[in-house]
């Protein structure tokens, strides 16, 4: 006679723990992913694109689209010492963050190398939520040492999150019945009743345009999706994936991990990681506040000067400078840097890129050595680069309150 317990053990899926998790929105997204184009992010099955990357990019720029941010890591930091703990961990002054506001931040090792960047939501007097691209629970718990009244809770699977971006995003939310969103300022938080629970709406995003992020209990995720898509039916709402996101964020001048920077705790080669100052993030490093991780090293680097810096480049021609090496002359006699991200921008009508450049070379010419294929044959060209001091593309409506209907 067979043992039922043994039978259950033998018939269980031995790979269950290795399979990609499904987002609370997956059922709806799978039906719309006509190309079945999936990748992975933090153990979740994640859409690279749904139908066509360029089509999805133009949805972001001309109508509105949804981007699943459920795989993004979310942590609750709570208690009387929550603010002090975060203020010691990140480079920005968290004490200035008001309730129902969001701020962008980064955190470093003691040597000033950047571990990750993310956003801090202040949800209450002693409650914060940190979001970031990669798992950070171990570093957060280490950062709690010395603070007796603070707790860190992994919150990723307890909160479904959907980014709604584009010029018709506000019109869609208004049509959904959320009239109060009209007065929501950039980086503000609003809580409203929905489907017998509460929806949190933040005016945040990663595209440089008008946009919001919607946060809700996973049990109500599909109801929120359905209501959102009904409301946005006549406003061009479509889902978009990682590839279109990468296009929009580069135009807006936003950094992407593993493209502009390596996470310090996962980098093997010496100085293949970066500091916030090298990444042109000095504006979120507050030397006026008390001690924070990496302060001494960053202050020393500021005083001694940078040897390399991330720049935004406008490159002549229309051949994308992906993986291009940079030189100080057309003859390629002296290498001065390299491109991290590049694209032909439909919105800007220009060839744009992020690139690390030796600071000693600034003030002279910057040339990109670009290789491209034409009818299966490789071609090489040298393109002159101009430094851009501002994001390549930001629409004024991203800052307007109320944003107006489009």
* Cα separation, 134 vs 226, whole angstroms: 29
* Cα separation, 271 vs 268, whole angstroms: 9
Residue 51 is classified by DSSP as S
Give the residue from 269, 304, 339 where a domain finishes.
304
235 shares its domain with 102 = yes
* Cα separation, 104 vs 204, whole angstroms: 10
Q: What pLDDT does 114 receive? A: 98
283 shares its domain with 322 = no
Give the residue from 272, 304, 336 where a domain finishes.
304
257 shares its domain with 335 = no
List the helix and strand counts (H, then E) for the chain.
9, 19
226 shares its domain with 313 = no
DSSP, collapsed to helix, strand or coil, labels residue 171 as helix
Residue 2 lies in a domain: no
Domain that holds residue 268: 21-304
Residue 11 lies in a domain: no
238 shares its domain with 364 = no
DSSP bridge partners of 335:
327
Q: Which helix (H) or strand (E) segment is 221 a member of?
A: helix 221-231
* Residue 321: CATH number of its domain: 2.40.30.110
252 shares its domain with 383 = no
Q: What pLDDT does 296 receive? A: 97
Domain count, the chain: 2
* Cα separation, 277 vs 210, whole angstroms: 28
Residue 349 lies in a domain: yes
Q: What pLDDT does 284 receive? A: 98
* Cα separation, 400 vs 393, whole angstroms: 16
29 shares its domain with 110 = yes
The ranges of the chain with pLDDT < 50 are 1-2, 4-10
133 shares its domain with 62 = yes
Residue 223 lies in a domain: yes
Residue 398 lies in a domain: no
CA distances 281 to 35, 187, 257, Å, are: 37, 18, 14
34 shares its domain with 134 = yes
Residue 32 lies in a domain: yes
Give the residue from 304, 334, 356 where a domain finishes.
304
Residue 278 lies in a domain: yes
* Residue 85: CATH number of its domain: 3.30.1360.120
Question: What pTM was computed for the model?
Answer: 0.94
Q: Which helix (H) or strand (E) segment is 368 a member of?
A: strand 366-374
55 shares its domain with 200 = yes
Q: Is the dihedral of CA 163, 168, 171, 177 positive or negative?
A: negative
Select from 183, 218, 168, 188 the least CA-distant residue to 61: 168
One DSSP character per residue, 61-74 reads HHSEEEEE-TTSEE
Q: What is the dihedral of CA 181, 186, 189, 194, to 10 degrees?
A: 30
273 shares its domain with 208 = yes
Residue 395 lies in a domain: no
Residue partners of 213: CB distance under 8 A and separation at least 6: 69, 161, 162, 163, 164, 201, 202, 204, 205
Angle at 207 between CA 201 and CA 210, to 5 degrees: 50
299 shares its domain with 311 = no
């Amino acid at each position: 006679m067979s043992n039922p317990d043994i039978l259950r053990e033998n018939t269980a899926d031995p790979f269950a723990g290795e399979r990609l998790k499904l987002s609370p929105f997956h059922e709806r997204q799978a039906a719309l992913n006509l190309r079945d184009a999936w990748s992975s992010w933090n153990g979740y099955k994640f859409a690279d694109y749904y139908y066509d990357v360029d089509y999805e990019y133009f949805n972001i720029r001309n109508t509105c689209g949804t981007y699943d941010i459920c795989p993004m890591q979310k942590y609750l930091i709570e208690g009387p010492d929550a603010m002090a703990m975060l203020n010691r961990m990140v480079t920005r002054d968290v004490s200035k963050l008001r309730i129902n506001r969001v701020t962008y931040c980064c955190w470093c090792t003691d040597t000033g190398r950047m571990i990750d960047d993310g956003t801090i939501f202040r949800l209450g007097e002693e409650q914060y939520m940190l979001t970031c691209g990669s798992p950070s629970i171990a570093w957060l718990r280490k950062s709690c040492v010395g603070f007796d009244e603070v707790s860190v809770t992994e919150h990723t699977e307890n909160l479904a999150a959907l980014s709604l971006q584009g010029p018709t995003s506000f019109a869609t939310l208004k049509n959904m019945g959320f009239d109060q969103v009209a007065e929501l300022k950039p980086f503000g938080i609003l809580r409203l009743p929905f489907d017998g629970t509460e929806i949190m709406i933040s005016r945040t995003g990663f595209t440089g345009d008008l946009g919001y992020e919607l946060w809700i209990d996973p049990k109500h995720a599909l109801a929120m999706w359905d209501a959102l898509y009904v409301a946005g039916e006549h406003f061009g709402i479509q889902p978009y994936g990682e590839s279109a996101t990468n296009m929009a964020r580069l135009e807006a001048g936003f950094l992407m991990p593993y493209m502009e920077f390596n996470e310090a705790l996962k980098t093997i080669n010496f100085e293949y990681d970066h500091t916030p100052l090298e990444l042109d993030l000095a504006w979120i490093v507050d030397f006026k506040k008390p001690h924070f991780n990496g302060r001494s090293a960053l202050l020393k680097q500021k005083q001694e000067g940078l040897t390399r810096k991330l720049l935004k480049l406008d490159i002549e021609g229309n051949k994308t400078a992906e993986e291009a090496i940079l030189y100080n002359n057309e003859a390629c006699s002296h290498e001065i840097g390299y491109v991290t991200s590049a694209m032909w921008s439909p919105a800007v009508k220009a060839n744009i890129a992020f690139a690390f450049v030796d600071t000693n070379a600034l003030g002279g010419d910057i040339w990109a050595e670009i290789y491209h294929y034409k009818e299966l044959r490789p071609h090489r060209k040298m393109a002159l680069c101009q430094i851009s001091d501002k994001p390549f593309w930001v629409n004024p409506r991203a800052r307007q309150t109320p944003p107006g209907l489009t």
